[in-house]
Structure 1
């Protein structure tokens, strides 16, 4: 069952191919190359709450990011100007950070603990970040939806090392276990099929799973003891896929019409995307945003994460007045022209996010809109990308959390002793019905969101 190259090495491109998700093998010492990319809580209206986390790589232009509270209300700085019409539903945070972020060597990689708050292990093999808050919430809310969560992106993982860290860290913000990133889908058509499958996708996945399990058994005989353990850990994602298929089968058989709250959107509102990766980055990003919003509108899942790009990405968006990739621009060395281009890229991300938020705000769910019933976070793992500075992080939160969050404010924690980002995570988890007295490095939730 294992494809062999002429030199009798194992083809990583063959193993786990066709799952319909971007799955890459962990680094195994026995192989010499990296794998190829491959009843919730409700508001007063009865509609469930949703949680989304969106991420952009390489930080922000610190001179144009943020907001100020004034007697006339919150005033957004230039990079956030696309959110002006939504600012009454927006919280802008200042000063939140992850104290467990490692200073010193490693650049970007030690900062990729956004949703766990735990130390990123310095390693090129046995990666470890910690189970992330979105996946803990998904374990709770996923009891009520066909998919526990959807994990989206636009770029697959790659492999390199820097200062003892593996670049795999830069490709994931969502981790289903302390040592396993949640499989991330970068192909719009496959993401669409996972959410809105008529049964044929599940049949294909089942046949592929049989093949994967056979390949895993054969591969295990050629691995070291250490790698066998790592392979077993990795195959947890395969078991998660099995459980997702079983859950989707159960939901497809159940007749839920008239049973409690029902979504107002009953069918996909746009055609199935074409196969492959869209040629233009903006088309790719907008399509993934549309899929995320539609998943919430149809209650296919209540938890989503979306990496608009990987950290360290050098994506070019074709923005007028911007030359070069975003990572290149983030190292601006305080050059005014490069800083302005960096700001334009940040502003462009906000434009795309604002479009998605507007669609959520336009979705009526009875007493409130979809946005009013949701909590949508936007963040990056750095503040000033030029300095790899994570002593505070750019954090935005849109939506009303089912009537539990009051927008239109900038919340400044920069002078407080306890300004841990995990305190915000705890507050959001609590609103999603995932109550805990401790998460990451925090043991106290933020209390001033309402």
Structure 2
């Protein structure tokens, strides 16, 4: 990949390297990033996704949109100049050189057993969603497996964001909890999702006061929970044990954040160019305007990557079966889930289409912001992999025989964009093969994940 240089850089300045500059200066001090000097060197990944001494790290994010897509206008073809994007993906035109569009990938387990939405919510695990209203099970997801290894290098192992909390109902023997989470820290425990921008902001950029308050709350919670031991059934005792595990994970996150705060370094030589929040702490509560809510959460995700507060993120733009209203787009009636069941009515299909395109506009703005963040030889987007996904292909038919999957970013120079990769006629078209390829690029080596034992090999 060609190094990113300013138009004013001379040929002689482009030939400078960090080592040459330090020798010439006769000092042993670290340099800030300079446009005319290759101060960070190549981005070489070390063990578990850690950056080499002079390289920027790789990041991964999964972005989810509920209720499927309009299959008539989703996708792309390979043309003479790369991707020819269909209508829904047209907002991604400015960034298509760093975009892969996948066709035909699926999770085979979603077409077995009962239908509907909930059994399809295994996008990041590939395992069967347990039909239950109590003891939920999906499988540990790939983002959290990476966080377990890569998270030791950052104050937060991962950040899990959304805009809607869980709702409580059942359908076809499944609990609606499934519709509210794509990230699971264990097979039976969804990773806590933060829907309040201020709390998400504090979780990543707090000065220590919030962590101290959290410790106090945890002490009280643990005291109350411990008092229940011996007073509950065996089943509830098991649930308490799982609860204690989650609390301990939170304690460990708080302790680690404190350690990073005191050390004031990520410990890997490389330092981010953005060292303080670039926007004000959000107001308390959930923004009244859904547009503000969505953009705030996405801005927090990007800022977390810019400041190297975490290298793993998931963002649910909305829940599956979401009733989110998009009336601000003009003459749109009904919630998103209702619109997805358009029954091919032209008016409702048009409204659904505009909602789909709005999500692509949000994705495009986020990707362009990342591409505009310079990290020396590459941009933040070049050093990242951003996966966009939905759990249904045709929302109207609950069809998951293929899934709408995009992958943006360069993966630290390991991914070649501006292509559509068609697996529709490939017998081994499992989505988990893509997950294996992503995890490998993040330095997490696995022989098998979910239902796949081979990674996709044609991303570069």
TM exceeds 0.5? yes
CA offset digits 1:19-68 (Å, max 9, x no partner): xxxxxxxxxxxxxxxxxxxx634489600000000001000000011101
The secondary structure found in structure 2 opposite 1:168 is helix
Checking the alignment, whether the CA contact within 8 Å between 1:116 and 1:130 is kept in structure 2 is yes
Q: How far off its partner does 1:398 sit?
A: 0.4
Greater CA radius of gyration, 1 or 2?
A: 2
Q: How far off its partner does 1:255 sit?
A: 4.3
> Corresponding residue for 2:124?
115
Q: How far off its partner does 1:235 sit?
A: 3.1
- Tell me how far apart the structure 1 counterparts of residues 113 and 135 of structure 2 sit (CA, whole Å): 21
1:424 corresponds to 2:440? no
Structure 1 counterpart of 2:189, from 180, 193, 199 = 180
Q: How far off its partner does 1:232 sit?
A: 1.6
CA offset digits 1:365-419 (Å, max 9, x no partner): 0000000000000000000001100000000000000000000000000000000
CA offset digits 1:114-164 (Å, max 9, x no partner): 000000000001000000000000111111000000000111111111111
- Tell me how far apart the structure 2 counterparts of residues 407 and 43 of structure 1 sit (CA, whole Å): 24
1:229 corresponds to 2:238? yes
Q: Summarize the alignment of residues 237-248 of structure 1 with structure 2, pairs less than 5 Å apart.
A: 237-248=246-257
Checking the alignment, whether the CA contact within 8 Å between 1:68 and 1:76 is kept in structure 2 is yes
- Tell me how far apart the structure 1 counterparts of residues 52 and 97 of structure 2 sit (CA, whole Å): 19
> Corresponding residue for 1:263?
272
Checking the alignment, whether the CA contact within 8 Å between 2:115 and 2:398 is kept in structure 1 is no
Q: How far off its partner does 1:87 sit?
A: 0.3
- Tell me how far apart the structure 2 counterparts of residues 41 and 82 of structure 1 sit (CA, whole Å): 33
Name the count of aligned residue pairs: 412
Q: How far off its partner does 1:323 sit?
A: 1.6
> Corresponding residue for 2:25?
none
Q: Summarize the alignment of residues 310-325 of structure 1 with structure 2, pairs less than 5 Å apart.
A: 310-317=319-326, 318-325=328-335
Flag the 1:216–1:69 CA change in 2: closer, same or farther, 3 A: same
> Corresponding residue for 1:197?
206
- Tell me how far apart the structure 2 counterparts of residues 306 and 235 of structure 1 sit (CA, whole Å): 26
Checking the alignment, whether the CA contact within 8 Å between 1:42 and 1:402 is kept in structure 2 is no
Q: How far off its partner does 1:236 sit?
A: 2.2
The secondary structure found in structure 2 opposite 1:386 is coil
Flag the 1:319–1:103 CA change in 2: closer, same or farther, 3 A: farther
> Corresponding residue for 1:31?
none
Flag the 1:244–1:418 CA change in 2: closer, same or farther, 3 A: same
| Structure 1: runs of 5 or more not aligned | 1-38
Checking the alignment, whether the CA contact within 8 Å between 1:44 and 1:402 is kept in structure 2 is no
- Which deviates further from its counterpart, 380-389 or 318-327? 318-327
> Corresponding residue for 1:376?
386
> Corresponding residue for 1:160?
169
| Structure 2: runs of 5 or more not aligned | 1-47
The secondary structure found in structure 1 opposite 2:361 is helix
1:346 corresponds to 2:350? no
1:434 corresponds to 2:429? no
Checking the alignment, whether the CA contact within 8 Å between 2:409 and 2:417 is kept in structure 1 is yes
CA offset digits 1:192-217 (Å, max 9, x no partner): 00000101011000000001101212
- Tell me how far apart the structure 2 counterparts of residues 271 and 114 of structure 1 sit (CA, whole Å): 33
Structure 2 counterpart of 1:402, from 412, 415, 434 = 412
TM-score normalized by structure 2? 0.87
> Corresponding residue for 2:293?
284
> Corresponding residue for 2:366?
356
> Corresponding residue for 1:60?
69
The secondary structure found in structure 2 opposite 1:81 is helix
Checking the alignment, whether the CA contact within 8 Å between 1:89 and 1:399 is kept in structure 2 is yes
- Tell me how far apart the structure 2 counterparts of residues 257 and 156 of structure 1 sit (CA, whole Å): 32
Q: How far off its partner does 1:220 sit?
A: 4.0
1:295 corresponds to 2:304? yes
